Amino acid sequence: MGRQLDRKAAFALIPASDYQAIVQDYDARRRGSNLKPAGLVVDQAIALVATAAAIASEGRWQQLPHALVPCWDVAEAWTVLIKHTTVYRLLTDKLGTFVDWLPCPGALQADVEGTIAAIDATNYVVHHEVWTPEEPADARAGIVGL
């Protein structure tokens, strides 16, 4: 039987007070009747950034078989995270790579599923209830900045 890996909570990468402020900001700005827990969505946005930074620091960016793409909710939380400029700068400094976004119009459902697998492989907790693989972000955002 395989050993269970301890998963990291991505939100632990930033101070708790900053995390709470971002969650409150995201919760206030999100559209529609999204009932997914705001804290989990923000955690997945941080996990997405951390995963991209880990892939970049390991020199595996060009080896990815897919684009890294968020679902709509994660993309929206990521935007809120970026708007918290000081926190975002400290996070990316800690990770060693600045991660920004660029439209990726060719992104497919497989790219979202690949993104979830990449976060899992980087050993971050994946909150599957947050991800909607059949519905990538409208912008079909893929992560770049490397």
| pLDDT tens by residue, 3-30 | 445 788 899 999 999 999 999 999 998 7
Residue range(s) defining the domain that contains residue 134 = 21-27+35-144
Query: Whole-structure pTM over 0.85, yes or no?
Result: no
144 backbone dihedrals φ, ψ, rounded to 5°: -140, -165
Residue 6 lies in a domain: no
- The count of structural domains within the chain is 1
At residue 126 the predicted structure's pLDDT band, cuts being 50, 70 and 90, is very high
In a domain, 8, yes or no: no
Spell out the residues 6+ positions from residue 104 whose beta carbon is closer than 8 angstroms to its own. 67, 69, 111, 140, 141, 142
- DSSP annotation of 61 reads G
Q: Is residue 7 part of a domain?
A: no
% of the chain at pLDDT higher than 90: 40
Report how far apart, in Å, the C-alpha atoms of 59 and of each of 52, 65, 66, 117, 146 are: 11, 14, 15, 18, 10
Average confidence score pLDDT of the chain: 82
**Residues 60-94 pLDDT 10s:** 877 888 888 888 888 889 999 999 999 999 998 88
Residue 14 lies in a domain: no
- Which position has the higher pLDDT, 120 or 5? 120
Q: Backbone phi, then psi, for 126, in 5-degree steps?
A: -105, 120
